[in-house]
Amino acid sequence: GRSLGQSIREFKRGAQEIREELEKSVDVREELKPKPTPAEAAPEKAAQAEDKA
């Protein structure tokens, strides 16, 4: 009983640590991503405007 509870707590702690590491990794990747310019955000509209010009 007691060892099972301890094992479950250790598992939950490990799972939480993994979750936190993944969230940090995602946050870092989002910070490194350049912000798209309006033309990059809508390349189809920009291409259509060039065709009409």
The pLDDT tens digits for 18-53 are 999 999 999 888 888 777 666 666 666 555 656 665
Task: Report the number of distinct structural domains present in the chain.
Answer: 1
Select from 29, 30, 47, 27 the least CA-distant residue to 39: 47
Terminal Cα-to-Cα distance of the chain (whole angstroms): 76
Whole-number Cα distances in Å, 28 to 33, 40, 45: 9, 22, 30
pTM: 0.51
Q: Which has more pLDDT, 49 or 13?
A: 13
Residue range(s) defining the domain that contains residue 17: 2-52
**Residue 8 confidence (pLDDT) above 90:** yes
